[in-house]
Amino acid sequence: AQSVAQPEDQVNVAEGNPLTVKCTYSVSGNPYLFWYVQYPNRGLQFLLKYITGDNLVKGSYGFEAEFNKSQTSFHLKKPSALVSDSALYFCAVSLRGTGNTPLVFGKGTRLSVIA
């Protein structure tokens, strides 16, 4: 079975500092990995995905994530945080190559960027 762990419920960072939101996954094969963001009273918005190829994936709003197979991680990063980045971030995983396997989401990490 697939699973995703986001070990931090909350991450606080000062504006202008780099941010990292952690994600580790467990699948019995090769994963598809995704990051989504949820702003208050809104649905989830797609940020980026790893399917195959380059381990460093660049996405929307200056975010990037690095796929690390040996550590089964897919941490979300941004070099310089903005107050507007404050939101709930979800990591998700699916199993590649098995047809249509639904996404499994982590519990979410609340990012708070302080001015």
Partner 1 sequence: DSGVTQTPKHLITATGQRVTLRCSPRSGDLSVYWYQQSLDQGLQFLIQYYNGEERAKGNILERFSAQQFPDLHSELNLSSLELGDSALYFCASSQRDSVDYEQYFGPGTRLTVT
Residues forming the site for partner 1 (CB under 8 A): 32, 34, 36, 41-46, 49, 51, 90, 94, 96, 99-108
Q: In whole angstroms, what is the distance from residue 40 CA to residue 17 CA?
A: 23
Tell me the CA distances in angstroms from 57 to 1, 36, 76, one per residue in order. Answer: 25, 14, 9
**Shortest distance, CB of residue 8 to partner 1, whole angstroms?**
14
Nearer to partner 1, 81 or 89 (CB): 89
**Shortest distance, CB of residue 103 to partner 1, whole angstroms?**
6
Q: In whole angstroms, what is the distance from residue 1 CA to residue 31 CA?
A: 12
Nearer to partner 1, 99 or 115 (CB): 99
Q: In whole angstroms, what is the distance from residue 53 CA to residue 102 CA?
A: 22
Nearer to partner 1, 18 or 29 (CB): 29
**Shortest distance, CB of residue 42 to partner 1, whole angstroms?**
6
Q: In whole angstroms, what is the distance from residue 104 CA to residue 46 CA?
A: 14
**Shortest distance, CB of residue 105 to partner 1, whole angstroms?**
4
Structure tokens at 30: 């090769």
Contact 37, 89 (CB under 8 A): yes
Nearer to partner 1, 31 or 78 (CB): 31
